[in-house]
Amino acid sequence: MVRVGSMDEAERLRESLRDRRAVEVVGSVTGVGLVGIPATGADRIEVDPDDFDQAIRHLHRRRDELAGHLADSAVLAAPLPDGKGPVAVRMRKAFGLRARDVEGGVRAALQSYVQQLDLVIAALENVKTTHVAVDETAAATFKRQA
73-101 tens-digit pLDDT: 877 766 666 677 888 777 766 665 555 55
Residues 30, 94 share a domain:
no
Cα(130)–Cα(118) distance, integer angstroms? 18
Locate all alpha helices (DSSP H) within 2-105, ordered by sequence. Answer: 7-18, 23-26, 49-72, 88-95
3-state secondary structure of 107: helix
Cα(146)–Cα(140) distance, integer angstroms? 10
Residues 68, 23 share a domain:
no
Owning domain of residue 12: 1-45
Cα(119)–Cα(127) distance, integer angstroms? 12
What is the domain count for the chain? 2
> Residue 54 belongs to a domain with what CATH number?
1.10.287
Residues 56, 39 share a domain:
no
Instruction: Of 58, 66, 81, give the one whose Cα is nearest residue 113.
Output: 66
Residues 122, 79 share a domain:
yes
Long-range Cβ contact pairs of 133-139 (< 8 A, separation 24 or more): 138/4
40-80 tens-digit pLDDT: 555 666 778 888 899 899 999 999 999 999 898 877 766 66
